[in-house]
Amino acid sequence: MSRGKKLFALSLLTFVVLIVVGASYSGHHGDPTGAVTGTATDVIGAQGLSGDTVPVSQVGINALANETGHLHVAVNFSWLLMTGYLVLFMQVGFAFLVTGLTRAKNAGHMMMMNVAAFAIALVAYYAVGFAFHFGGVAPVSNLGGLGPLTGLFGHGNAGVIGTHGFFLQSGHGYDVGVMAMFLFQVVFMETAGYIIIGAIAERISFAGFILAELAMGAIIYPIYGNWLWGGGWMAHLGTSLHWAHGAVDFAGSGVVHATGGWAALALALVLGPRIGKFNKDGTPNAIPGHNIGYVVIGTMILLFGWMGFNPGSTFGATDLRISVVAVNTLLSACFGFIAAMAWTNAKYGKPDISMSCNGMLAGLVAITAPCAFVAPWAASVIGLIAGFLVCYSVWFFDHVAHVDDPCGAISVHGVNGAWGVLSLGIFADGTYGAGWNGVSGNVKGLLYGDAGQLAAQAAHVVVGFIWAFGVTYGIFKVAGRFMKIRVSAEAEIEGLDMPEFGALCYPDFQLVSSAVGHAPQGSPPRPTSAVAAGTDVGGRS
Amino acid sequence: MKLITAIIKPFKLDDVKTALTELGLGGITVTEARGFGRQRGHTEVYRGTEYNVDYVPKVCVEVLVDDDDALRFADAIVEAARTGQIGDGKVWITQVETVIRVRTGEMGSDAI
């Protein structure tokens, strides 16, 4: 079959599938118009009372209460959607960040990956990912209950995967609450989806990349997410093993960032380093990015977007803890930046711009899990440690592990995601989180007397690593036998814009690197082509 | 006629131009250039890894002058471009067989 015919057949098939989905779920028992979401029940529930305590005869009061309940949920919808849009905007920041940190000859490829990631992973999450993730998350009181999402495979404490909400329709998923939840959660998934771009940059084939995004949107992110946020077994370590509140992850240091970071590590290992990154003796070469301005713009946009990422994770503005969350997030970001700036200045003589920006992102990633549970001083400490940690980690992956991670995705998101999860188990101060994961009392860390919480957090780190790294590594080891997941050496040296997409990002400029591709120790200058310079051609497994 | 070619630090270009204009400069050609001398570029650190900046940005200045003016002009460039630091650049003078002005077809000294 010709390519045209294949494309036509594929389009037709997609069309048919969507029609079938629409026809199969034509009976709506959810709440597609939003008219009955938000009632007196929500007000009574918010007061900690049960429906039985309010006399049914009080019709007028009930009508008033219904209106209040509707407003309660409406405020929360507004908050959730607005913060979701902020998280969506982080995609722009990431596109700037990773394109700036790579070479001009690949800029079109980098930008295309960022926008394609959004569309492809979104479709995968819409089809199956959301159902796997949140198909059994109900009840969520801030959003009117999310009544349709009651399908969870695995009983009691042993939930492993959600089963309602495929194509946002199965299990009566056509519902305003479900849609609000989907919008907020899909942009979170996109975050894990674009994190990997940082580590696979400048060498992955576009086909390999599409596979990675499909896997992330349909399997890797949603299933692990279910274990933490969808009612799954990790969240129930408190009720099953009596480890405090079970694994707690407020906005996803582990669920989102570490998952993305460890998947990035697996992909970087399978792909091997870029040509010219490492010498034959394993010593690394610097391959400077082409636009530090983009790196700074991207970092600032991500900081702004994080004001949705963390405070939005309350699922509602009626939870006034949002201000604490927002301020903790800013504190950690700034302390992370300062730590990385100070470290690079002390160690290398000048503050490194891109590492300082990575420090800010490290602070943001680390505070994402504990942001709602810690005091401002603790948020500052968490950010400070994150800033140092990211500098050390980037050095470690370059000089010791010899893993080529052009944008520091593994260090920023993987390592600091893990640190953020653990820090919750240390610094949570017992002022928030009553009844979290079905365990009574507030969430407390080691410093406030609950070692069980730290144990649950450690389990979160370990299980998260095994899942994200293992599944990604497995998928790409197998896929590598059937498809080209890395571009040819020729394309890599020329730059991927033309071979992969037929269009240069900067067609009016002559792209020459002045400083690329070999170690400085006393070697005479050589041609800028790394291959001509005799460096190791990136290993491909 | 002589061709004076000077490789100088980019930020010294204005000083050089001013100095030459005072001597009655007829015309000048300026090209952005990159290269290295005895220092073989210099070393920087990017994200914790050292790297060489092999080809340091420079400006290449070319001036056509009459034989008698060559040394005066070259000296003026050297004076104006000097900072005393490494990487100040070089100036050299080459013999030019003839020069033709494109618009009028004038040749030799008339074309300068």
Cβ-based contacts of A391 with chain B (< 8 Å): 48
Range among A63-77, A359-373, A429-443 rated most confident? A359-373
Q: What is the pLDDT of residues A425-441, one digit of tens each?
A: 999 999 999 999 999 99
Q: What is the pLDDT of residues A69-100, one digit of tens each?
A: 889 999 999 999 999 999 999 999 999 999 99
More confident site: A526 or A161: A161
Q: Give tens-digit pLDDT for A511-539.
A: 665 544 444 444 433 334 433 333 443 33
Q: Please identify which residue in the block is written with the tokens 């080209």.
A: A484
So what's the pLDDT on residue B110?
87
pLDDT band at A41 (very low <50, low <70, confident <90, very high): confident
Of the pLDDT bands very low, low, confident and very high (cuts 50, 70, 90), residue A32 is confident
Distance from CA of B39 to the nearest CA of A (A): 10
Size of interface A-B (CB pairs under 8 A): 67
How far is the C-alpha of B92 from the C-alpha of A229, rounded, in Å? 73
Name the burial class of residue A6, with classes exposed (0-12), middle (13-18) and buried (19+) by CB atoms within 10 angstroms of its CB. exposed
The pLDDT score that the predictor gives to residue A517 is 43
Which chain B residue lies closest to A522 (C-alpha atoms)? B40
Searching chain A, which residue's CA lies closest to the CA of residue B46?
Answer: A286
Percent of chain A with pLDDT over 90: 77
- Which pLDDT score is estimated for A512? 63
A481: pLDDT confidence band, cut at 50, 70 and 90? very high
For B53, nearest residue in chain A (alpha carbons): A515
Is residue B17 scored above 70 in pLDDT? yes
pLDDT value at position A44? 67
3-state secondary structure of A284: strand
Six-digit token pair at A422?
A: 């653990």
Q: What is the mean pLDDT of residues A251-276?
A: 96
Establish if B66 touches chain A: CB-CB under 8 angstroms.
no
* Contact list, A349 vs chain B (CB under 8 Å): 45
Tokens of B50: 């050292």
Other beta carbons less than 10 A from residue A88's beta carbon: 18
Tokens 């596979």 belong to A211
Q: Is B38 on the interface with A (CB under 8 A)?
A: no
Measured CA angle at A489 (ends A487, A492), to 5 deg: 65
- Summarize pLDDT for A165-206 with one digit per residue, the tens: 999 999 899 999 999 999 999 999 999 999 999 999 999 999
| Per-residue pLDDT at A58 | 60
Average pLDDT in the B25-44 region? 88
pLDDT, chain A, mean: 90
Q: Look at residue B70 and tell me whether its pLDDT is greater than 50.
A: yes
Across the interface, do B45 and A350 touch by the CB < 8 Å criterion? yes
Distance from CA of A341 to the nearest CA of B (A): 11
User: Å from B28 to nearest chain A CA?
Assistant: 24
Residue in B44, B49, B55, B56 to test binding to A, most A beta-carbons within 10 Å: B49
Q: Alpha helices, DSSP H only, in A414-519?
A: 416-427, 451-482, 489-494
Q: Is B54 in Cβ contact with A286 (below 8 Å)? A: no
What residues of chain B lie within 8 A of the CB of A511, using their CB? none
Query: pTM, whole model, 2 decimals?
Result: 0.85
B19: closest CA of chain A, how far (Å): 31
Which residues of chain A are within 8 Å of residue B57 when distances are taken between CB atoms? Answer: 514
pLDDT score recorded for residue A536: 40
* CB within 8 Å: A515 and B44: yes
Give the pLDDT score at A178: 95
B11: closest CA of chain A, how far (Å): 19
Specify which residues B3 forms β-bridges with. B64, B94
Q: Quick check: B47 and A398 CB within 8 A?
A: yes
Contacts of B98 (CB under 8 A, 6+ apart): B1, B107, B108
Phi, psi values for residue B36, rounded to 5° = -140, 160
The 3-class SS string of A345-381 reads HHHHCCCCHHHHHHHHHHHHHHHHCCCCCCCHHHHHH
- Tokens 């669920």, residue located: A255
A contact residues 442-471, partner B, Cβ 8 Å cutoff:
none
How far lies A190's CA from each of A183, A213, A497, A531, in Å? 11, 9, 23, 36
Beta strands in B36-81 (DSSP E): 42-46, 49-53, 56-65
Does B51 lie at the interface with A, CB-CB under 8 angstroms? yes
Q: With an 8 Å Cβ cutoff, are A520 and B43 in contact?
A: yes
Interchain CB contact of B90 with A (< 8 Å): no
What is the spatial distance between Cα A41 and Cα A146, in angstroms, rounded to a whole number? 13
A393 in B contact zone (CB under 8 Å): no
For residues A185 and A130, the answer to whether their CB atoms sit within 8 Å is yes
Give the whole-angstrom CA distance, residue A69 versus residue A39. 5
Q: A348 — contact with chain B (CB < 8 Å)?
A: yes
The reply to whether residue A524 touches residue B40, judged by beta carbons under 8 angstroms, is: yes
pLDDT attached to residue A251: 96
Task: Give the gap in angstroms from C-alpha B34 to the nearest C-alpha of chain A.
Answer: 8
Alpha-carbon gap: B91 to the closest alpha carbon of chain A (Å): 23
Question: Looking at residue A69, what is its pLDDT?
Answer: 87
pLDDT of residue A1: 67
pLDDT at A28 > cutoff 80: no
Q: Return d(Cα A74, Cα A317) in angstroms, integer.
A: 10
Give per-residue pLDDT as tens, A447-478. 999 999 999 999 999 999 999 999 999 999 99
Do you know the residue count of chain A?
Answer: 541
| Span A6-34, average pLDDT | 84
Mean pLDDT of A307-321: 95
**Chain CA centroid to CA A315, Å:** 17
Contacts 24+ apart (CB under 8 A), A464-467: A464/A224, A464/A254, A464/A255, A464/A258, A464/A259, A464/A262, A464/A417, A464/A418, A464/A421, A465/A258, A465/A262, A465/A418, A467/A220, A467/A223, A467/A224, A467/A259
Q: Is residue A541's pLDDT more than 60? A: no
Say whether pLDDT at A33 is over 90. no
